[in-house]
Amino acid sequence: MAPKSKSGRVTIKTVAEDAGVSVAAVSKVLRDAYGVSDALRGRVRASMQKLGYRPHAAARGMRGQTYTLGFLIPDLHNPFFADIMAGMNTALERTQYQMLLGVSDSAVPNEKALIDAMIDRQMDGIIVIGPRMPIDQIRDFSGRISTVLIGYHSKEIDIFDTVNNDDRRGATLVVQHLVAAGYRRVTYLSQSMHGAMKEAMVTAEREVGYRAAMQAAGLARHIQVVEALQTSRDIQAAARQLLQSRNRPEAIFCWTDFIALEVLSVARELGLSVPGDLAVVGYDNTSYCDLMQNSLTSVDQSGQVLGLQAARLLVERIGGRTAAEHFIVTPRLVERASSRHRPA
Amino acid sequence: MAPKSKSGRVTIKTVAEDAGVSVAAVSKVLRDAYGVSDALRGRVRASMQKLGYRPHAAARGMRGQTYTLGFLIPDLHNPFFADIMAGMNTALERTQYQMLLGVSDSAVPNEKALIDAMIDRQMDGIIVIGPRMPIDQIRDFSGRISTVLIGYHSKEIDIFDTVNNDDRRGATLVVQHLVAAGYRRVTYLSQSMHGAMKEAMVTAEREVGYRAAMQAAGLARHIQVVEALQTSRDIQAAARQLLQSRNRPEAIFCWTDFIALEVLSVARELGLSVPGDLAVVGYDNTSYCDLMQNSLTSVDQSGQVLGLQAARLLVERIGGRTAAEHFIVTPRLVERASSRHRPA
DNA sequence: GTGAAAGCGCTAACAC
DNA sequence: GTGTTAGCGCTTTCAC
C-alpha cells in the first residue's frame, strides 16, 4: 500500500500514488469528468476503495462544487415538511448531493443567518420553504446561490424558481365545500406575520382565495380573517376568543393542519361538537388528519410532488439553467368528519 | 475603498489591504486569537464592516474550524426533536456555531452516509439522536469527530458523551401509574428494529424498565411486548391486532407519543372508549399530548434540557475535553385523561 | 505585536 | 488521454 501523506489523511495525492497516476486523473474520476480511459478509471476506483478515500468537501468547495444542498424550513413541528423532504430524497437518491437542513424558527434574522451560513459554506444550491424576509433580500441571496422557493408566490423576479400549489384554488375548494355542506359564517384563521413580509406567502394567497370564494357565494358579509402567532398558546387564545364571541363562526378554515388541531382541542374544551356546532378544515393533509380523533378535512397539495420538483429544478439550475421555472400543483380537497354536512 | 480581489469576492486579503495590515492580522482578529492590539483589532473590524466581509467557511475548513455543528435526527415527524433543538439553540445562541441538520429516515445506510458527509465537510462536531448503527461503527466515527449522543445508553466507550433521561425509570413510572389506576394487562408497544442494533437504544431501556416494573407488581404473567415499524400503516395494523385479540390488553404503553396517537385512533375506530376500555400512555410529552382530543398521559423527559446539555457538552469537547461525560435527566409522569382510574 | 510565507486538498487550464 | 501546475481563502508557524 502506498504511504499516506504525512498528515495521515488519505488525499487524492495518496490515491494517485497508489494507482500510479496523476492527481488530475484522480480528480477527473472523482467528478466523472470527460477524458479518462476505462482502464485508468478502474485503477483509480480500486485504489480509492482500498485506501478508504473520502473527498474533502472543504477543499472541493475552494474550487468547485461541494455537492451539498441546503434546505431551509421554518420549524420542526409541521409534519408537512417531512412529506416535502421525502420527495426531495427521491429526486436526489442516485446523485452525489447531500441535503443539510436549517431551521429558522420562523424568524427573519435566523433565516438570514442560515442562508448566509449556507452561502459561506459554498453550498451548491438551496431550497427555502416559505421565506419571510423582504423580497429585496431574497433577490440578493438568490443572485449568489442557486435557489428554489417553495410556498412563495412571486414570478416577477426571474433569478429563482418556485414550486407551489395553487393556494387560491385550495382556499376556494374549502369555502365551496363548506358552503355546500350548509355552513355560512366561515372564518379564516391565518398566521400573524409579526412585521415580516406577508405578500407572496401562502397564507396571503389562501386569504385571497377565501375572500373571493366567500364573495362569489354571496357571503361577503361573513368574511372574517383572524391572525395568530404560531405558538400553541396564541392559537388557543385566538380560537377561544372566536368560539366564545357573540356571533361565533359556523366553520373555521385554518391555514395549516396543526392550527386546526388546536382549534379542535379548544372546541372540545368548550363543549362544542364538531361538526355539529363547528366545522373545521385544515391545509396540507398531513398524516394527523387521518387519525380518528381528528378526522380533519384538509387540502392535499402533494408535498412529495412539491419536494421532488423542487429538487429537480434545483439540480437543473445548478447545472446551468438560468431561465426561471415555476411549477404549480393543483390542490385537492380531502373530506373527513370535521366538516360533514351541517345538521339542520 | 480598497479594490476587491479580481474575483470580486471580499477576502481577508481585501480586508487587510483596506485596513493597511497583513492577512495574518486579519485572521487573528477573526478568530479572537491572542496577540493583537486593540487599535489594530478596531481598524480591522471597521474594514470588515465596511466591506461586508464574510469568512469563507470552506477555506477555514481547510486549516482550522468550520464553526458548523451537525445534528442528526431519525425523522421529521416526531415533534420531540423540536424541543431538543430549541434547547440546543439556547446553548448556541451567543456562539459562532451554526447548526445544520441531517435526517436519516431511521435507516442505517442513511445514517452512515450523513455522518460521513458531516465529517467530509469538516464539521467541528455532531450530535446524534438515537443512532441505530452497530457500536463499532459509532466508535469509529466518534474517533474522527467530536460526538455527543442523545438517546443512546452506553458508557463503556469513553470517546463520546451521552445525554439521556432515565428510560428505565420512565417506564417504571408508567407501569406503576397504570397499576395504581387499576390496570393489570399492560402491553408495551415498541419499535421494530429491522436488523439494526437494539441494545443501548431508548426502546430497549424502556422495555427493561417495563418488564422489571411488571415483575415487581406481580404481573409477570401479563408481560407482553409488541414491535411495529414506524409507519402509520404498520402501527395501526399492530394496534388493531392487539385490540381485537381474545385477551385484549387493558392498557398500552407506547414507546413514543405519536405511536400512542395512532393507538388512540384505532381504539376509537374499533369503538373502544379511552380510558374506559383501554388506557394509553406515551413518552416524550410532546405538544400533541395536551390537545383535548388526545389528552394523552406521557412521560416528560425535558427535551429542552437534553438539547441544551448536549450542545454544551459538544462545545466543551470541541474545546478540548477528552474525558467522557454522561448526563442524565430524571423523567416525570404527566397524567392526563387517557389513563384515568379504571372504572370498576 | 505584527507580517511573510508555507501549506491545507482539491479543481481546471493548459501542455504534452 | 494523461500529467503539470497555479491558485482557491484561510490558518499557522516563525521571523522580525
pLDDT of B241: 97
Residue A311 has pLDDT above 80, yes or no: yes
Distance CA A170, CA B75 (A): 28
pLDDT band at A1 (very low <50, low <70, confident <90, very high): very low
Which CA distances in Å does B137 have to A333, B112, B140, B141?
46, 9, 5, 6
CB B26 within 8 Å of CB B12: yes
Q: Is the CB of B96 under 7 A from strand D?
A: no
**Closest-CA residue to B292 (of B340, B343, B338, B341):** B338
Per-residue pLDDT band at B195 (split at 50, 70, 90): low
- Which cell is A335 given? 373530506
CA torsion, points B240, B241, B245, B251, in degrees to nearest 10? -60
Check pLDDT > 70 for residue B177.
yes
What is the rounded distance in angstroms from the CA atom of residue A31 to the CA atom of residue A186?
56
Q: What is the mean pLDDT of chain B?
A: 92
The pLDDT of residue B233: 95
Task: Nearest chain A residue to B101 by CA: give it.
Answer: A101
Give the model's confidence band at B34: pLDDT under 50 very low, under 70 low, under 90 confident, else very high.
confident
User: Residue A158: CB partners within 8 Å, gap ≥ 6?
Assistant: A323, A324
Residue of B11, B48, B71, B101 best to disrupt the A interface, most CBs of A under 10 A:
B101
Of A55, A75, A85, the CB nearest to B103: A85
Q: Cα B78 to chain center, whole Å?
A: 10
pLDDT tens digit string along B91-120? 999 888 999 999 999 999 999 999 999 999
Give pTM, 2 decimals: 0.92
Report helix, strand or coil for B175: helix
In this model, does residue B4 exceed pLDDT 90?
no
Exposure b/e, A21-51, CB count within 10 A at least 16 = b: beeebbbbbbeeeeebeeebeebbbebbeeb
The secondary structure of residue B182, as a DSSP letter, is T
| Cis amide linkage into residue B55, ω under 30° from 0 | no
Which of chain A's residues have a Cβ under 8 Å away from the Cβ of B79?
76-77
Question: What pLDDT does A6 receive?
Answer: 44
CB contact under 8 A, A102 and B101: yes
**Any atom of strand C under 7 A from CB of B221?**
no
Is the C-beta of residue B12 closer than 7 Å to nucleic acid chain D?
A: yes
Instruction: Tell me which of A101, A261, A263 to substitute to probe the interface with B (most B C-beta atoms closer than 10 Å).
Output: A101
d(CA A171, CA A140): 31
What value does the mean pLDDT take over residues A254-280? Answer: 97
How far does Cα A208 stand from its chain's mean position?
A: 21
B344 CB below 7 A from strand C atoms: no
- The percentage of residues in chain B with a pLDDT greater than 90, rounded to a whole number, is 72
Residue B247 burial by Cβ neighbours in a 10 Å radius (0-12, 13-18, 19+): exposed
pLDDT in tens, A36-71: 888 888 999 999 999 989 888 888 888 878 899 999
A100 backbone dihedrals φ, ψ, rounded to 5°: -120, 140
Query: Would you say A129 and A74 are in contact if contact means Cβ atoms under 8 Å apart?
Result: yes
Residue B61, SS3 per DSSP: helix
Instruction: Please give the average per-residue pLDDT across B123-147, as a whole number.
Output: 93
**Beta-strand (E) ranges in B95-210?**
98-103, 125-129, 146-150, 161-165, 186-191
Whole-angstrom CA distances from B317 to A284, B14, B136, B278, B321 are: 41, 34, 21, 46, 5
* Residue B261 parent element (H or E): helix B257-269
Q: Under 8 Å CB-to-CB from A6, ≥6 apart: which residues?
A: none
Grid cell for residue B80: 420531540
Q: How confident is the model at residue B161 (pLDDT cuts 50, 70, 90)?
A: very high
Handedness of CA B179, B183, B185, B191 (dihedral sign): negative
Angle at alpha carbon of residue B91, lines to B89 and B94, rounded to 5°: 90
Contacts of A292 in chain B (CB under 8 A): 264-266, 268-269
> Out of A58, A89, A269, whose CB is closest to B121?
A58
Q: Residue A330 burial (CB < 10 Å; 0-12/13-18/19+)?
A: exposed
pLDDT attached to residue A4: 39
Across A116-126, average pLDDT: 92
- How far apart are the CA of A81 and the nearest CA of chain B, in angstroms? 7
Q: Over the stretch B196-236, which tens digit does the pLDDT of each residue have?
A: 678 889 999 999 999 999 999 999 999 999 999 989 999 99
Which SS3 state, helix, strand or coil, does residue B241 take? Answer: helix
Q: Do B76 and A81 touch (CB under 8 A)?
A: yes
Whether A13 sits with its Cβ under 7 A from any strand C atom: the answer reads yes
Looking up cell 420538483 gives A309
Q: Check A290 against B119: CB less than 8 A apart.
A: no
Asked if A105 contacts A74 with a C-beta cutoff of 8 angstroms, the reply is yes
- Is the distance between the Cβ of B62 and the closest atom of strand C smaller than 7 Å? yes
B99 CA – D6 C1', rounded, Å: 35
3-class secondary structure for A64-94?
CCCCEEEEEECCCCCCHHHHHHHHHHHHHCC
A306 CA: distance to closest CA in chain B (Å) = 16
A5 — pLDDT class (breaks 50, 70, 90): very low
A 10 A CB-CB count for B221 gives 9
Name the β-bridge partners of A188: A225, A253
- The whole-angstrom separation of Cα A20 and Cα A3 is 13
Question: Could you tell me what percent of chain A has a pLDDT over 90?
Answer: 72
